[in-house]
C-alpha cells in the first residue's frame, strides 16, 4: 500500500509526526497521560495545529488503531500468499505478529482491548485472528499440523497466546526481541504440534503407552 493511502486510512489528515508523538506520550505516561496538549508538545507543534488535525483524543486514538490494523494486514498478506507448508507460514506469521506488536508496543501496553477496539472502530476492518486460523487450516490440509480443535477457535487461542505474553515480556520485563520472540513462538508451535497426540497418551520406546502402565 502507498504510504499516503495508509496515512489517509489510518488517520485521515492526522500527520505521521503527530501519531508518532502520541505513541511516545503513551510510552511515557500511558493512557492517562494521553491528551492533545501533551501530544502537541511532543510533536513540537502548537495546540491549534494539533486540534486542526485531530478533533479530539478519541480521534487520535482511532487513528492509532487504524495504523495498527493497516500494519497487521500488510504484514500478514505476504505471508498468507507465500510458498511453503501451512506450519512454516504459521511460524512466519507468529514472528510477524511479534514485529507488529513491537511497532505498536506503547498502544498495546496501554490497554488489553486494543485489538477489539481496532476491529470494531478502525478503518480498514481487520479480523486479527483470521490469518492465523487460515494458516492452521492450510497446515491441517497439507499434513504439517494436526490440531484437534476447530481452526477458527485455535486461531484466536494462538493469536492471544503469542501476542499478549510477548507484549508483557517486552514491555514489563524488558526482555530483548530475540529472547522474547524466539522462546515464545517456539513454545506456541511446540504446543500446536503436541495437540495431535491425545492427552495422557505418550508413546514409549517399546511401543506401549503410559496410559497402559497406569
Q: Give me the residue label for grid cell 500500500.
A: 1
Query: 204 vs 31, which has greater pLDDT?
Result: 31
Up-side HSE of residue 45: CA atoms within 13 Å toward CB? Answer: 21
Question: What would the DSSP string read from start to end of 49-88?
Answer: HHHHH-SSHHHHHHHHHHHHHHHHHHHHHHHHTSSS-HHH
Provide φ and ψ at 34, rounded to 5°: -85, 110
Most confident range, picked from 25-29, 143-147, 163-167:
163-167
CATH superfamily of 3-194: Tetracycline Repressor, domain 2 (1.10.357.10)
Q: Which three cell numbers stand for residue 103?
A: 511497532
Report angle CA 96, 177, 74 to the nearest 5 degrees. 20
Task: Give Cβ neighbours of residue 200 (< 8 Å, ≥ 6 apart).
Answer: 210, 211
Q: Does position 1 have pLDDT exceeding 60, yes or no? A: no
Task: Give Cβ neighbours of residue 56 (< 8 Å, ≥ 6 apart).
Answer: 36
Pairwise CA distance, residues 44 & 46, whole Å: 7
Most confident range, picked from 11-20, 43-52, 154-163, 201-210:
154-163
Q: Does position 99 have pLDDT exceeding 60, yes or no? A: yes
Q: Give me the residue label for grid cell 492526522.
A: 14
Amino acid at each position: 500500500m502507498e504510504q499516503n493511502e495508509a496515512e489517509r486510512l489510518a488517520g485521515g489528515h492526522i500527520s505521521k509526526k503527530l501519531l508518532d508523538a502520541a505513541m511516545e506520550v503513551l510510552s511515557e505516561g500511558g493512557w492517562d497521560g494521553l491528551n492533545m496538549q501533551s501530544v502537541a508538545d511532543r510533536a513540537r507543534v502548537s495546540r491549534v495545529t494539533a486540534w486542526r488535525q485531530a478533533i479530539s483524543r478519541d480521534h487520535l486514538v482511532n487513528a492509532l488503531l487504524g495504523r495498527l490494523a493497516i500494519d497487521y494486514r500488510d504484514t500478514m498478506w505476504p505471508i498468507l500468499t507465500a510458498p511453503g507448508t501451512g506450519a512454516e507460514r504459521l511460524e512466519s506469521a507468529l514472528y510477524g505478529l511479534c514485529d507488529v506488536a513491537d511497532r505498536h508496543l506503547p498502544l498495546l501496553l496501554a490497554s488489553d482491548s486494543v485489538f477489539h477496539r481496532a476491529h470494531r472502530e478502525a478503518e480498514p476492518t481487520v479480523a486479527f485472528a483470521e490469518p492465523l486460523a487460515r494458516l492452521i487450516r492450510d497446515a491441517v490440509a497439507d499434513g504439517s499440523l494436526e490440531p484437534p480443535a476447530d481452526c477458527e477457535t485455535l486461531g484466536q487461542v494462538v493469536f492471544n497466546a503469542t501476542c499478549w505474553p510477548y507484549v508483557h515480556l517486552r514491555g514489563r520485563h524488558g526482555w530483548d526481541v530475540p529472547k522474547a520472540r524466539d522462546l515464545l513462538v517456539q513454545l506456541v508451535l511446540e504446543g500446536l504440534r503436541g495437540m495431535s497426540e491425545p492427552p495422557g497418551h505418550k508413546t514409549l520406546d517399546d511401543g506401549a503407552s503410559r496410559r497402559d502402565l497406569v
